[in-house]
Chains A and B, each alone.
Chain A
Amino acid sequence: MTADTMRHEGRVRADRLRATARLLLPYAVFLAILLLVPAVFTRVPLYTMGNGVYMAILAIAALGLVPLTGFAGQISLGQAAFFGTGAYFSAILTVKSGLPATPAAILGMATAGAAAYLFGRYLFRVSGHYLALATLGLGLVLTIVASQLEITGGTAGVVGVPSLAPFGVELFDDVSYYYLVAAVLLVAVVVVDGLVRSWLGRSLTAVGDAPHAAASSGIDIAARKRLAFVVAAVLAAAAGSLYAHWAAYVDHHTMDLLLSLQLLIIATVGGIRTVWGPVVGAFVVVTLLQVSQELFPELSERVGGQAEIVLYGLALILVLLFLPKGLAGWASDVIQRLTRARAGADEGGAR
């Protein structure tokens, strides 16, 4: 082996190492932040540990919008319906049927996924914005149905959802529950990131970018959109189940249209084409919620306790105007530019 080929192989190996590091580094940072949240949120004034739990739950629910909306370009206004499906399944099956929490949650996720699949079979035959309108309708109808049926407890909802006890450790406070939700979030991020980085993610991008070209490249575009819709529904249902056990009660407000909008805002503000988007977005949205409640309690009262909606709207407009890729999208662009500039400087120095 000549010195040249050895040097070349060394460079290839170094490149591969660098690529792996680039892939894993965000995860290391994310894991560190997840582990730091309890220490910080229990000490700083604005946040409570409940905020941490709520952020993680919202992030899980919004995560499915990355492949669905960010990649395949399909807007769903019915994520709250799937969130509610998971929440009600967990609540009803554990409270009324006495089922353990895990099978109850899995049944909820499976039902949401199956519903999304069947819904998608009819919806994705036609192109356009049918999904947004149809899911809007689905959410509104299910909210009303849930408030009327006996099995869902009518307007009173289902109360007394038991707290979780994985591996015999009962999670009765927000800090311990946070660790469970954060672990689920981490797994969900890894799964969705793997999906969008794989060839399936590429084909979803193709469908979103140029549907006609994707179809004549041999992609069954309806099947791809359906896949993304099912993934989004299952994740929303998982988040719903976690919510039910945390809040200990579920009613029809759990699947309010506002939640669907909130999830879209979370994904968009954070960055809808990266898995870090929903995480960042959930942090921003819950922060705004806290700010509106802590800093403007009077304003909050005057507009019916929903001053945060004004702040959401402002945040959305600002991000869309100045950072159309969302906060995480913008951050990754900046990091990329910096590393490229440094690599350029390195090369320049070597010459």
Chain B
Amino acid sequence: MTEARLEIIDLTVRFGGVRAVDGLSLSHSQGGVLGLIGPNGAGKTTVLNVLSGAAPPTSGEARLNGRRITGLRADRIARAGVARTFQNLQTFHSLSVLHNVLVPLEARAAAKPVVGLFAPLLRGGQLRQRAADLLGRVGMADQLDTPVASLPYGARRRVEVARALAADPRLVMLDEPLAGLSRAESDDLARLIRSVADSGVTVLLVEHDMVAVMRISDRVAVLEQGQLLADGTPAEVQADERVRSAYLGDELDYDPLLHKGDKRAEAAARQRVATDPDAAADPGLAADPDVAADQEAAADRPPQTTDRRRREPRAQQ
């Protein structure tokens, strides 16, 4: 599968007087995981809403593989290869686990004209098998017939991810998939996200768990007040002074970028800073040799931050 080519061109979304997204331009065609971070209200979810057709842009556009997706109805965008999960967990609560994943499969099968209505009936067994396979991939194989409403939060998240994958997307957008999960659940889901990206599906990841974002992402884009503040490899972004100060304030004495919004990790990091001077330099990531090496390499280079507000002229008038 060729990598999805996503282009966001001078996108602006205004809610009344507020510019939730303000002239954002961002292209991504190298696959993998694109992390989208930024403080609350930076416009991350709004970008996802525009890309999935849940909210209309005020101006600008987005293209997937050259095809304009802004302005299309949400289900058309889904058929064009964009799937998503939601920040506030949107499963089909009256349906079983299996049926939650069956819904997008059947919608796809029914999309063909004329015979479409009957396709989900004729291919029922095949679609069920595919749904069961996807649920196996997220570790839900033994709970296919469980009503989704009776599942714990973490399991519902996984069902939602399986449902997003069922649409056979080129681009999957995950809106804070790790929020509210236990450490073990979060690690499992992070591994799954990585494996999805490695299978050739581009992942756009909005997430507050910075340790996870930095570990999973191939590229990280930082939004602030609806504008692109910086983007680059995780190491580049972490090293960027502007990102640090804008995103977090620089008064903290441990690496704040890694632990913002994660109380447990913050506490752990403080602990480590107190007891182990090495960990203070790179809490959380020191255990991962690749990332640590990246970080060292990045420290030698000047930060390659793109500040599109200054560098790039607006693509459209």
Could you tell me which A residues sit within 8 Å of B by CB distance? 198-199, 202-203, 205-206, 208-210, 212-221, 273
Given contacts A198-B121, A220-B75, contact A212 B86 (CB under 8 A): yes
Of listed A205, A215, A217, residue having the most chain B CB within 10 A = A217
Q: A218 to B86, Cβ gap below 8 A? A: no
Q: B107 to A217, Cβ gap below 8 A? A: yes
Complex alpha-carbon distance, A216 and B53, angstroms: 8
Report B290-311 CB contacts with A as 1/0, cut-off 8 Å: 0000000000000000000000
Q: Which 3 A-B pairs have the closest CB atoms?
A: A215-B74, A217-B104, A218-B107
Could you tell me which B residues sit within 8 Å of A by CB distance? 52-54, 73-75, 77-79, 82-84, 86, 90-95, 99, 102-104, 106-108, 110-111, 120-121, 124, 160, 163, 166-167
Complex alpha-carbon distance, A210 and B124, angstroms: 23
Closest partner residue, chain A, to B111 (CB atom): A218
Complex alpha-carbon distance, A198 and B119, angstroms: 12
Complex alpha-carbon distance, A203 and B163, angstroms: 13
Q: B103 to A217, Cβ gap below 8 A? A: yes
Q: A215 to B75, Cβ gap below 8 A? A: yes
Q: B75 to A221, Cβ gap below 8 A? A: yes
Given contacts A216-B53, A219-B75, contact A206 B92 (CB under 8 A): yes
Complex alpha-carbon distance, A206 and B159, angstroms: 14
Q: A218 to B102, Cβ gap below 8 A? A: no
Q: B92 to A218, Cβ gap below 8 A? A: no
Q: List 14 A-B contacts (CB under 8 A).
A: A199-B121, A203-B106, A205-B94, A205-B95, A208-B94, A209-B94, A210-B93, A212-B74, A213-B90, A214-B92, A216-B75, A217-B75, A217-B104, A218-B108
Closest partner residue, chain B, to A71 (CB atom): B94
Chain B residue contacts of A219, Cβ below 8 A: 75, 103-104, 107
Which listed residue, A199, A203, A217, touches B167 by the CB 8 Å rule?
A217
Q: A218 to B167, Cβ gap below 8 A? A: yes
Closest partner residue, chain B, to A125 (CB atom): B73
Q: A213 to B86, Cβ gap below 8 A? A: yes
> Apart from A214-B92, A216-B53, what 5 extra A-B contacts exist at CB < 8 Å?
A203-B103, A209-B93, A217-B78, A218-B104, A218-B107
Which listed residue, A213, A215, A220, touches B92 by the CB 8 Å rule?
A213
Which listed residue, A208, A210, A273, touches B90 by the CB 8 Å rule?
A210
Complex alpha-carbon distance, A94 and B167, angstroms: 51
